Amino acid sequence: MNTEPAGALAAVVLAAGLGTRMRSRTPKVLHPICGRPMLAYVLDAADAATGARPLVVVSPATTGIREAFAERADFATQAEPRGTADALAAALEVLPGEVREIIVLSGDVPLVDPALMVELAAARRDSGAALALISVDMAEPAELGRVVRDADGRISRIVEFRDATPHERAIAEINSGLYAFDVAWLRGRIAAVQPSPKTAELYLPELVPLARADERAVATLEVEDDGTLLGINDRAQLADAELEMRLRINEAHMRAGVTMLDPASTFIDASVEIAEEVTIEPAVILRGSTRIGRDATIRSGSQVFDTTVGEGSVVWASILEGSVIEADVTIGPFSHVRKGSLIASGAELGNYAEVKNSRIGRGTKSHHFSYLGDADVGEHVNIGAGTITANFDGTRKHRTLIGDRAFIGSDTILRAPVSVGEGAYTGAASLVTHDVPPGETVLGVPARIRDKRTDAGASRAEDDPQR
C-alpha cells in the first residue's frame, strides 16, 4: 500500500501507557478483541500502510508488550510517563536514519483503517507540511482535544480538554491522535515542546504551533465520525470495539460463502478459518485456531476452541477443545470433546458423550452418557450407554485399547490399563480389569470370559422336553 521508497516511510506506535481506567494489571493494549490483543490490529494497519516493521514505544510498566510482539515489531522505551511528545522523542532515538517520514498511531485504536494512514501521509507529503493530523467533527466530543483554527480556517493549535476554555470546549472538531511527520523537521523541533502548565506532560499537539512558527504548513485530513478512530480507555469502550470487530469478521465470512442464521449471536475470533458452504446456527462461539471444513454445520449452542472440524461434519450444542474432528462426523447434542482427541470420519458422539485425549476410530458410535478418557478406540466399535474408561489410579493416567468392531455393553467400566480385542464383547454392567482376547465375550464383576461349553449345555437343557 505504501508507495514511498523502501525505508522512507515507517510507523511509530505509542503504547507506553498502562491504561489505568481499564483497572487491570494487564497493559491496556494487550487486552483481547476477538481473540487477539488490540495492539495486533494496530500493527496490522502499520504493516499494511508502510510495508515496514513498526516501531513500538513501551515503558517499564508495559514490558509485557515486548514479549508478546517480539517477532512483529522493534521497540523504544519511554523511561518515565511524561506524555506523548516524550514518547515520540524516545522513538526518534532508535529510528533508522534513512526514514524520512513517519506515521504515528496509538496502540489503543484497533479499528483504524490502514488506507486512511496512507492517505494522511500523502496529504502531508503533497502539501509539504511539517505534519499532518486526522480530525473528526463529533456531535459529542467529550473530553478529547479540540482543534482550534484561525480566521483563515487554518489549524493554529490543539488544546487538551483539561486546558481548554469554555469557548474552546464548545468546538466540535477533535484531534484523533493520528499523525504524519516530516522526520527531519521533527528531529529539530521536538525538544522545543513545552510541558503543560496543568499536568507537566509533553503533548504531541504542541508541535502544531511550532510548525506554524516555522512557517511550515500543518495539513488536516477531516473524516466522518464513525467511531473507528476513538481510543479504548475502559472496558465499556473495549466491548464496543469488540462488537464492531465481530461484525466485520462475520460480514467477511458471509461474503466468502458462509451462512450465518444470526450474525448478532455468533462470536468468531479473528484467527478462525471457515470454508465455503458452512452453516452456522445462532448462539455459536468459535475461538482460537479453529478451522471449519466445507459443508460442515455448527448448530446452536456449540463452542469450538482450537479445533479442526472436517468437511460435512455436524456439531450440535457441544464443546470441542484442542482436537481434530474428521469428515462426516456427528457430535451432540451436549457432547464434550476435550484436548488431544481425534474423532475419525463417520464417527458419532451423542448425548453427554465425553472424550478426552483419545482416538475414536472410523464409524465408531458412542451415543449416550459415556466417558472415553486416554483411550484408543478402533473402527466400527459400539460404545454402550454409561461406558467409562477408568483411566486414573490416583497417581497416573493409563490408556484403554479397544479393537475394531468390538461391542462394549451398557454400563461397562474398563479399568485401565486394559485392552479389548477385535470383535470382543463386554456384557452389560461388566467391570473389565484384565485384557479381553479378540472375539471373546466377558461378563460380570469382575468380568470373566464366558464359558461357551456351559452356555451350550444350558441351551440343550432348556430344549429338553423331559426337564
Which residues touch 88 (CB under 8 Å, ≥6 apart)? Answer: 12, 14, 57, 104, 186, 190, 204
* Fold of the domain spanning 251-463: UDP N-Acetylglucosamine Acyltransferase; domain 1 (2.160.10)
Q: What's the CA dihedral at 369, 373, 375, 378 to 10 degrees?
A: 30
As a whole number, mean pLDDT of residues 66-71 equals 95
Helix (H) or strand (E) holding 285: strand 284-287
In the chain, which residues fall in CATH 3.90.550.10? Answer: 9-223
Question: Is 167 a catalytic site residue?
Answer: no
Q: Examine the pLDDT at 467 and tell me if it is beyond 70.
A: no
Q: Which of 31, 167, 253, 368 is catalytic?
A: 368
Verify cis geometry, omega within 30 degrees of 0, for the bond prior to 195: no
Contact indicator for 210, 192 with CB cutoff of 8 Å: yes
In the chain, which residues fall in CATH 2.160.10.10? Answer: 251-463
Beta bridge partners of 320: 304, 337
Q: Examine the pLDDT at 461 and tell me if it is beyond 70.
A: no
Long-range contacts of 318-325 (CB under 8 A, 24+ apart): 318/349, 323/355
What pLDDT is recorded for position 460?
46
25 or 400, which is more confident? 400
461 or 379, which is more confident? 379
Name the least confident of 88-92, 164-168, 387-391, 405-409: 164-168
Beta bridge partners of 441: 425
Q: Examine the pLDDT at 354 and tell me if it is beyond 90.
A: yes
Closest CA to 155 of 193, 106, 211, 104: 211
* Fold of the domain spanning 9-223: Spore Coat Polysaccharide Biosynthesis Protein SpsA; Chain A (3.90.550)
As a whole number, mean pLDDT of residues 22-47 equals 96
158 or 42, which is more confident? 42
Q: What is the pLDDT of residues 118-153, one digit of tens each?
A: 999 999 999 999 999 999 988 888 888 899 998 888
